A = this chain, B = another copy of it.
């Protein structure tokens, strides 16, 4: 069934008011928010119908109405006004974005913090993952006789390093040989091809004395790839959640925070559909029990090389969707820009 215009207007008024006050909304309150003037009785009738249709709920008789998750869904899909970013808003976003950093992980972490500050909600940030990530380049740097630093650069330009102590000292020549072998045999291959076979082949061309180093390097590379494919999860501004009246109940707040700190839960949150840039999950739509009464707004950002990261906001179901969506989207656009620009030049 299609809602009448007036019903939509009333539903919108209820959501708008409830977003601001977190108190059940009565018919009188709705009247003052309506454009076309009607009496509270009319509104009452309409609200009773909206309740029957499942868009509103009553905590108890003689309280006002509260939007149901279906109501929020309708609001997000059809009713919500495109939030107009004010000059101050934009300035804030810009300012936050100007603070750019080189290291990807750190950048993403900082981005999460910024989003949290920008939206006044808890934020989650997931590092980008390209499905075809591999190692682009190895470098072995001698530090002292039995110590080398292993450096590797991935196809998405992430750099990782590890100190490696050797039981048998290696000469400079041997180290460069190992270096060459690593770059010849182990670059641009997928994780599952980094196996013993290949190590044996590389070894046969250089000599057994570098096996220790080779194995350590491959080990490290595999570690790094595995970790990159298991995207990192950052949670910021968790205390923001405590400011909302719905989490005055410490037990609820705690359950929620614990859930958000759990990597496994977070990586399973619904992402934007292919082609979409933003995805709003209301209440149970998140598919996670403990998140049944919060909403999650997620955008994806481009990190170059086809890699996509995620940036999201977690707040009460009555969050100001219009504002949050606008800011989040703007921010993720900016982030994509920075990441791609960084990639093209410097």
B-contacting residues, A133-179, CB 8 Å? 136-137, 139, 141, 143, 146-147, 149, 151, 153, 157, 159, 161-166
| A233-267 to B contact mask, C-beta < 8 Å, 1/0 | 00000110011000110100110011001000000
Known A-B contacts A242-B254, A243-B254; the reply to A161 vs B165 at CB < 8 A is: no
Task: Report how far A257 CA is from B237 CA in the complex, Å.
Answer: 10
Residues of B close to A254: CB separation below 8 A: 239, 242-243
A87 within 8 A of B: no
A273 within 8 A of B: no
Which of B165, B242, B258 is the one whose CB lies under 8 Å from A345? B165
A102 within 8 A of B: yes
Copies in the complex: 2
Determine the residue in chain B with the shortest Cβ distance to A141: B139
Which of B102, B149, B248, B258 is the one whose CB lies under 8 Å from A151? B149
Task: Report how far A71 CA is from B162 CA in the complex, Å.
Answer: 49
A346 within 8 A of B: yes
Which of B247, B253, B346 is the one whose CB lies under 8 Å from A163? B346
Task: Report how far A161 CA is from B289 CA in the complex, Å.
Answer: 41
Residues of B close to A248: CB separation below 8 A: 250
- List residues of A whose CB falls within 8 A of some B CB: 102-103, 136-137, 139, 141, 143, 146-147, 149, 151, 153, 157, 159, 161-166, 238-239, 242-243, 247-248, 250, 253-254, 257-258, 261, 345-346
* CB-based contact B164/A161 at 8 Å: no
Determine the residue in chain B with the shortest Cβ distance to A344: B165
Residues of B close to A243: CB separation below 8 A: 254
A sample of 30 cross-chain residue pairs with beta-carbon separation below 8 angstroms, ordered by A number, consists of A102-B162, A102-B163, A136-B143, A139-B149, A139-B151, A141-B151, A143-B153, A146-B346, A147-B346, A149-B151, A149-B153, A151-B151, A151-B161, A159-B161, A159-B162, A159-B163, A161-B161, A165-B345, A165-B346, A166-B346, A238-B238, A239-B258, A239-B261, A242-B250, A242-B253, A242-B254, A242-B257, A247-B250, A248-B250, A250-B250
A329 to chain B, nearest CB (A): 27
Task: Report how far A346 CA is from B166 CA in the complex, Å.
Answer: 7
Known A-B contacts A165-B346, A242-B250; the reply to A149 vs B143 at CB < 8 A is: no
Which of B147, B159, B242, B258 is the one whose CB lies under 8 Å from A149? B159
Residues of B close to A250: CB separation below 8 A: 242, 247-248, 250, 253
A4 to chain B, nearest CB (A): 41
